[in-house]
Amino acid sequence: MKKNKQLITLENLVKFFGIANGTKLFCLRYINRKKYYSILIEKLKNTFSIDIRKIRSDLNRLPLNKIGSSSKNIWVLWYQGFDTAPKVVKSNLVQLQKITRYSKYNIVCLDKNNISKYLKLPDYIIEKVKKGKITLTHLSDIIRVGLLSQYGGIWLDSTCYVKENKFNNINNYIFYTQKYKPGVSSFFNNGKWSGFFMASGRYNPVEVYLYNMFLIYWKKYDVLVDYFLIDIFLKLGYENISLLKQIIDSVPFNNSDILGDEISFKKDTWIKKLNWRKKYDL
C-alpha cells in the first residue's frame, strides 16, 4: 500500500531530527507554515554550518562568467523519455524548438538513458535513486545544478511553456531566474528565485554551491527533510554567503505571471509554468 505524502513527511522529519523534534516540526508544518520553515531553515543552518563555510571560501576563486559566454544549451528533462511524456510536455518542447529554430541555442533533451553522457553523478546518488531514497523530482534538482555548474546555459523544466525567444536578453547576466517583486510571493524565499527556470554562466557560484550542498547532503542522509530542499539550500546560501546574495539581488524582476492555470501573459512574462497533469489549449 502506497503511503500518503503526510506520512512520508512525518517519517522523514522523525528520522532526521528524532521523534520529539520531528513530530513538533510536522505539526507546525500544518499549523504555521511560515514558522515551520523559519525553524527548519535555522536547524539546517546549524547542521551544515561547517560545510557552508568551506564552500563559501572556495566560491571566491570562481570566475563570474556571463550566460552569453558559456554554453548555448537549453537543458530540458523528462526522465522516462520524451516519447512517452504527457501531451503538455511534448507541446512545450515543440514550442521551444519552434522559437529557437533559427538561433544559436541548442536544446538538449535529457532522459534516463543519456544523462550520464553529460553529467557523472556519484555512485551513492545513483544507488539512492535506485533504492527510492531520492525521488526523480529531487534527482532533477541535482542534475540541473550539476549541469549548469559544469557547462552553464539555461535550465527549463519540461512543464515550462516559452511564448517567445527572449533568451538573448539574459546573456549579460552571470545568473538569471524568475523573480517576483517584494510582497508578491508568500513563499519563504520571498519570490527571489525559482528552480524551474535558471540560467548561468559556467562555474557560476550559485550553481556550484547548490551542487556541492546536494552532494554533501545525500552522502550523509538517506531521507528528504523537506520537498523544497533546493530552495532551502539557496535560502541558506543567500543569507550566509554575501557573494550569492549579490548575484541573486542583481537579477531583475521578471515573469510575474509565470504561475497559474491560464495561458495568459502579462507584459513582463514570456514563460509559463504549467502542470503536466492538466489539459491546455496549446
Which amino acid type is present at position 115? I
CB atoms near residue 36 (< 10 Å): 20
Which amino acid type is present at position 226? D
How is residue 35 written as a grid cell? Answer: 514558522
Predicted local distance difference test score (pLDDT) of residue 278: 83
Confidence (pTM): 0.95
pLDDT tens across 120-157, in order?
Answer: 999 999 999 999 999 999 999 999 999 999 999 999 99
Predicted local distance difference test score (pLDDT) of residue 73: 97
CA-nearest of 242, 241, 244, 148 to 197 is: 148
Predicted local distance difference test score (pLDDT) of residue 264: 78
Low-confidence ranges of the chain (pLDDT < 50): none
**Strand locations in the chain, DSSP E?**
73-77, 106-110, 153-156, 160-162, 175-177, 197-200, 271-273
Asked whether 229 and 216 are in contact (CB, 8 A), the reply is no
Q: Which domains does the chain have, with CATH numbers?
A: 32-273 (3.90.550)
Predicted local distance difference test score (pLDDT) of residue 88: 95
Asked whether 67 and 176 are in contact (CB, 8 A), the reply is yes
Predicted local distance difference test score (pLDDT) of residue 131: 96
Predicted local distance difference test score (pLDDT) of residue 281: 74
Predicted local distance difference test score (pLDDT) of residue 149: 98
Predicted local distance difference test score (pLDDT) of residue 267: 83
Please state whether beta strands 73-77 and 153-156 pair in parallel, antiparallel, or not at all (unpaired).
parallel
